[in-house]
Amino acid sequence: MRSARRASTMEVPSFLRQLKKETEKMVTFFFKGGRRDSGSDDDYFENEGEMSPYLERPILMKDTGEGESKWGLNFAMASMQGWRAQMEDSHTCMPEMSNAFPDWSYFSVFDGHAGRTVAQYCSKHMLDFILDTGCVTMDEDVEQVKEGVRDGFLAIDRHMHTLSRNESWDHSGSTATSVMISPRNIYFINCGDSRTFLCRNGQVVFYTEDHKPFNPREKERIQNAGGSVTLQRVNGSLAVSRALGDFDFKEVEWRTETEQLVSPEPEVYELERTPEDEFLVVACDGVWDAIGNEDLCAFVRNRLQVCDDLREICTQVIDLCLYKGSLDNMTIIIICFDGAPKVSAEALQRETELEKLIDSKVAEIIQDIRSKDEEPDLLYVMKYLASENLSGLPPGGGISCKRDCIIAAYQKYAAAFRPLEPMDTGGSDDST
């Protein structure tokens, strides 16, 4: 289901053109108003005089997908280029991991930087490298599975390193965050600063650790390999301390592959599955730049109670992060178990009451503006509502996640104060 309402556009084309301009201003307003962590810029530091990695306006078109497994798991994904000049994310969604493991699932997000080659290659081949270790078996020895994941990561990184020497590869790298779900366990896999969490009983019970150069353990490895951490980056350049690819940072001959300036070694954890498991979120750092674990967990739980379209919820998360100030590409996968919240009549009623409140607030604001003989402005309306303490807003989302409702109300009430364009019938003004 979709809660956004669409007003008629047939009679006011000039108004719609103005609405588009004002919506762009609104996007820019929320982008500039977003708070960003000083270490969450572009993965590679932008040197003075180089072309900016950011666009003048964000690309909002989204790639979405959804599916389910035979054993009852549902998932959806969405990705968006956003403000970045290139789309460098890739992903893998396999609700049934392989013919040999039909009761297992595998999901990954690969966040590329300085190019997309490594991210794309890993999205296509990572699982094959893991399974080729022979450590993942139906008997499911947990420690053996974890060792197989680790060996698979190191093997694909060695293979890509060879390819990069013999073929015209770019100098890209990629972080990776993945989940492998067996009938008994969930395996959390992370290499870099993308992140995964599990919501159980309404709470985040586990999340992966970001690999940043300033983390004490990561910093020690970097320094032992002859590097430094400057501006919270490896040698003042790379903002992550573990990644696949990035072979310019893996050329210290007296160190093993896991002791390089940038390590391809993932951390792998497992949790036993329970009936209280609700959902997993797998996402790149473009999402986490704008929202924390607890807020995103609360937001997704709230949306699951009013929307049965999981793809729509994924796109809402991405839009929310854009309006909260994320500059990066964004990719998110939401994986729901049987215990996930379901749409409820009570939650739908609360959502309806909230949208009625927003509608009436917009009407009041526009009426006040018109009483001063001024033109209604969408940006002003959004700023005003952002300053209001409206009750019932989705937790973790705030007023920006209700922008579709606000725009619909704005279009409805502002149009009432705008004259219609004269209709051009193509006839002449000559009188008879």
Provide the residue ranges of all domains of the chain, joining segments of one domain with +: 13-30+345-415, 34-336
Q: How far apart (Å, rounded) are the C-alpha atoms in residues 266 and 261?
A: 15
Q: Is 230 helix (H, G, I), strand (E, B) or coil?
A: strand
Check residue 255 and give its pLDDT: 95
CATH topology of domain 34-336: Phosphatase 2c; domain 1 (3.60.40)
Using the 8-state DSSP alphabet, how is residue 103 labeled?
T
Residue 430: partners with Cβ closer than 8 Å, 6 or more residues away: none
Check residue 167 and give its pLDDT: 82
Residues 310 and 76: beta-carbon distance below 8 Å: yes
Provide the token pair at 38.
Answer: 């000083």
pTM of the predicted model as reported, rounded to 2 decimal places: 0.87
What is the rounded radius of gyration, in angstroms, for the C-alpha atoms of the chain? 24
Q: How far apart (Å, rounded) are the C-alpha atoms in residues 123 and 219?
A: 28
Q: How far apart (Å, rounded) are the C-alpha atoms in residues 84 and 104?
A: 34
346 phi and psi angles, rounded to 5 deg: -65, -45
Using the 8-state DSSP alphabet, how is residue 137 labeled?
-
CATH class for the domain made up of 13-30+345-415:
mainly alpha
* Local mean pLDDT, 10-residue blocks, the chain (432 residues): 34 42 52 41 56 88 96 96 96 95 97 96 98 96 98 98 89 97 98 98 97 97 96 96 97 95 98 98 97 97 97 97 94 97 97 95 90 82 87 90 90 72 48 40
